[in-house]
Amino acid sequence: MESDEKEPGLEKNYVQESQSYRNNLDKSNDINSTADEYKNQNDVETISEEDEDEVELIDESLGTTILNEIQQGSYVCLVCTGEIDQDSTIWTCAHCYRVYDLDCIKDWAINGSSTNKVNKSFRCPSCNTKIKKRPKKFTCWCGKISNPDKNPLMPFSCGNSCNYKYQNCIHKCSSICHPGKHPVCGALGPVMKCKCGEESRQLPCIITPYDKGWRCENECKNIKLCDLNHRCKKGCHDGFCGKCKEKLILPCYCGKNELKLQCCNKELKDCGGFIGGGSCKSINKIYYDCNEHYELKPCQPIKKIEKCKYSPDVITTCYCGKTKVDTQNRSKCTDPVPECDLKCNKLLPCGHHCQFKCHEGECECTTILDLKCSCGNESYSAKCKSIQQGFKAPKCNHKCSVLLSCRRHYHREPCCEYEQIGLERERIKKKQIRNNLRTSHNDLMSIEAIHICTKTCNRLKSCGLHECQAMCHNGPCEICLESTNDDLVCNCGKTIIHAPVRCGTKLICNEQCIRPKQCGHPTEHHKCHEFGSCPNCTALIKKTCNCGNKHDIPALCSQERVSCGKICQVAKDCGHPCLRTCSGECTKGNHNTSINCQSFCKKVRTTCPHLCKLKCHYNKKQCDEVICNENVQLSCECGNLQRKVKCGSSLIKPTTIGIVLPCDDSCAIAKRDAKLRAAFNVDDEKSEIYSLNVLETFQKQKNWCLKIERIVKQFVIDCNNGITKKTFHFHPMNSLQRQFIHELTDAYHIYTESQDQEPKRSVFMVITRLTKIPEKSIEQVINENLQKEIAQSKVEELSKEEIDNSSFNAILIKDLFFGIGKKDLERGLDMQGTFQWIKDSTFVYYTDNYKSMTKEFEDELYLLSKRFKKIIREKSLAFDCKLCLIDDSATYVLKTEHHTRTTPEVKDEIKTDNNAFSILSI
């Protein structure tokens, strides 16, 4: 057993036992009777030893109990709660004598809840005594031998004498190496003389009065203790007899009272007729020689009568001492002392001068001083006299800004007198930290007492269950010492920590978790855990997405939100789609609100057919409150002039759509050119009712085009009859469909415009003043063109051989000079027959029998062509002419002289497409 420290508690127990004997000795003052009592006690012990069984029950000490329990293997270690037997290695506390298993107490000293990591000290689990040295080795009970041999009779005993040195005597413990308390010393004490040194005695050590000594019955030999010859009454004592304590009754100095006092406290004085022993402390009036004035003095011997201090011989100046008093005006002490008109100016005890006029009595300081409050942040004005009388400045409202010792709370008390000291301490501390000069982190001893936080910490300890009940402190809280008497069992039940279990103990189980899942799927392999849920289920199942559009999206079983990745198109209150990606924020029945809608309004304005381009203003101002800035195209009545202007419609201004521009000179020129082209039979694309794209699209998508044509035609009819509005909006279409509508409505002189962005771009049309229904429908125009194509195809079906064998039946006049027309040719050539325009500056001349030509008639035409060539050159009508072959319709030139065939200009062949829905493709 190791015993590294000597506990004073052991000696205290011995001192208390021995002190009881000494007290009995002092009370009896009889050494012999004390010895007899001690002898009687020994006799009682001798008698009690007759019954051995009673001795074991009565005198069973702590050491005997420890040995018996160890021999029986029932002694419990408080650290591990295991049993200690003779085969264990132990360590015992030198203060409470509790026995622990050596390995357990070593671990407790290092990792225990009471371990101080700084000075490496710990506390005994039983008595909570602080122990500075950690256990290291296994020794016997007395600590002399390490690793003692096994001793069945007295476990862990070396068998040698204990030899423990008693603290209050010179003897040592004579018992064999033992646990528990040491027995009371049973040896004889030394021979001791009494206090006066006249007699000697020897007593047992246990009752020997080492500290107080002992007294004999003889009286003190000092017969003259004081000047009154009193004798010492202390009896046997050591040292000097001391002062005389004899009680006396003596008169006081003034003779009014009698005093009861000890002889040593008397102060004899001659009081004129008697001897006074002391002052009674009463206040008496002592009159001066004038018998008018007196002075109050405490009890004292009567002295000679003094001269009056107000006598004219004593007072020769005024009160301030600056002006002399005229003796003629003041002849006796009762006459008043005159006051001068000068300032008193006497030096006061405070250091100031009296500011009053010369006056009687004591001076009073009236100087006003600035008095700082306790914290020094505010100043107050106060009289010097008040300050001298102990007046303190009132407290200001400034709250102390010093951090308390816990470093969590501020003092916040108003007007703290230690605030500046605390702030200076904090500055020094920060400076030391910056300069790496700080040597200790324990600042509690240097902090002012008022700045020590006395609140309860109340923070959760590391266990997360209990609150720290210690005084509010800096740094982490101590380890939680709470424990439970219930076993700590893991969830699977395979790992158990038996009670007692300290709070915060973590149970580590390496077995597999067996908790069933709520979804019913098999459990993934993972370790057993006490808190928290099992890992998310990874089984693949089909779920419905957030927006509710798809119901078969593969997802993990534990996945709560499933997104289909599409943009939500559910309409809000304002009419715009939600436009949020399918997510947790956009679920079925929970879509975006109209308050924060960021879409453009896109509603059709009431004053014009355009869409509103403002941000969504649901339940706010109308769309038409803002002027429309869309560009619209205006044209004149003939269609020659075109101009783009702003729509400009609002609540107070109509739209510019439908306004017809006035024609100008360019329109007249365009009309004249059109007449010239008509005169010369020149093709004009503008003269066609429908564009080529409209005709081609109609052939590809006849049903759809007929539907659009009926809609447009019915719209014009209804507007003329006043049934509908003058505007119509088509549904969103692709670019080819929109182009068809634009070109179709041009034939009706309807204003059209595309609006919105792809893929929702659409067309709207507006009735104008020039709107009318065309004379022919699209189908009629196509049928006419088809007839022309059939005729042309017949011509093309003729073989080259037939054309070569046919005779010429007309004269080709080509390269007409500028300005020459059909009438000029008829007038210049003056021949009966027909002049037909073929193309550009080319005409043909033929007679009525051109369809049935003969060789003779061909020769006549040849001669006629020679004549025509001469005439046209002479009259500057054309450059050349030659024979040619024309078809039956007199439209195409099949061949010319020199076997050169002139092919007239043929319009582009109408393309066909077998795909009936090609126009609908984007």
Whether 467 and 496 map to the same domain: the answer is no
- For the range 751-754, what are the long-range contacts, defined as Cβ-Cβ under 8 Å and sequence gap of 24 or more? 751/632, 751/633, 751/657, 751/658, 753/609, 753/610, 753/630, 753/632, 753/633
Question: Does residue 452 sit in the same domain as residue 495?
Answer: no
Q: Is residue 916 part of a domain?
A: no
Q: What is the pLDDT, as a whole number, of residue 916?
A: 41
Are residue 765 and residue 754 in the same domain, yes or no? Answer: yes
Residue 894 placed within a domain: yes
Q: Which residue has the tokens 């107000």?
A: 310
Where residue 728 sits, what CATH number does that domain have?
A: 3.30.1370.50
pLDDT value at residue 918: 43
* C-alpha dihedral, 567 to 568 to 571 to 577, nearest 10°: -20
Separation of alpha carbons 746 and 767, rounded Å: 11
The DSSP code sequence of 462-530 is: TTSSSB--SBP-SSPPPPP--EESS-EE-SSSS-EEPSSEETTPPP---SBP-PPPTT-PPPPP-B--S
Which letter does DSSP use for residue 313 in this model? T
pLDDT at 55: 33
Query: What φ, ψ does residue 192 adopt, rounded to 5°?
Result: -120, 135
> Can you say how many angstroms the Cα of residue 257 is from the centroid of all Cα atoms in its chain?
84
Give me the phi and psi of 877, to 5 degrees please.
-95, -45
Q: Is the dihedral of CA 465, 468, 472, 475 positive or negative?
A: negative
pLDDT at 704: 92
95 and 186, same domain (yes or no): yes
Structural domain includes residue 296? no
| CA–CA distances in Å: residue 688 to residues 594, 684, 912 | 51, 7, 20
Task: Look at residue 618 in the predicted model and tell me its pLDDT.
Answer: 80
Same domain (yes/no): 455, 527? no
> Please, are residues 299 and 286 in contact by the beta-carbon 8 Å criterion?
no
Is the residue at 905 inside a domain?
no
The answer as to whether 620 is a domain residue is no
Angle formed by the axes of helices 702-720 and 735-747, to 10°? 50
Rg (CA), the chain: 68
Residues of the chain below pLDDT 50: 1-60, 899-922
Which of 207, 236, 254 terminates a domain? The answer is 207
Among 490, 512, 533, the domain boundary falls at 533
User: Is the Cβ–Cβ distance between 23 and 15 less than 8 Å?
Assistant: no
Same domain, 63 and 131: yes
Residues 70 and 146 placed together within one structural domain of the fold: yes
Question: Looking at the chain, how many residues does it have?
Answer: 922
Q: Is residue 179 part of a domain?
A: yes
Instruction: Compute φ and ψ for 403, nearest 5 degrees.
Output: -70, 135
User: 821 and 772 in one domain?
Assistant: no
The number of domains in the chain is: 5
Distance CA 728, CA 193 (A): 140
Q: What is the pLDDT of residue 433?
A: 87
Say yes or no: 806 and 786 in one domain. Answer: no
d(CA 347, CA 365): 10
Q: Are residues 73 and 168 in the same domain?
A: yes
| Residue 522 placed within a domain | yes
* Domain coverage including residue 527: 482-533
Q: Are residues 22 and 168 in the same domain?
A: yes
CATH of the domain at 892: 3.30.70
Q: Is residue 804 part of a domain?
A: yes
- Helix, strand, or coil (residue 262): strand
Are 764 and 873 part of one and the same domain? no
Residue 777 pLDDT = 87
Q: Read out DSSP for 146-193?
A: BSPPP-SSSTT--SSB--PBPSSSS-B--SBS-SSSPPPP-SEEEEEE
53-61's contacts with Cβ under 8 Å and 24+ in sequence apart are 61/180, 61/181
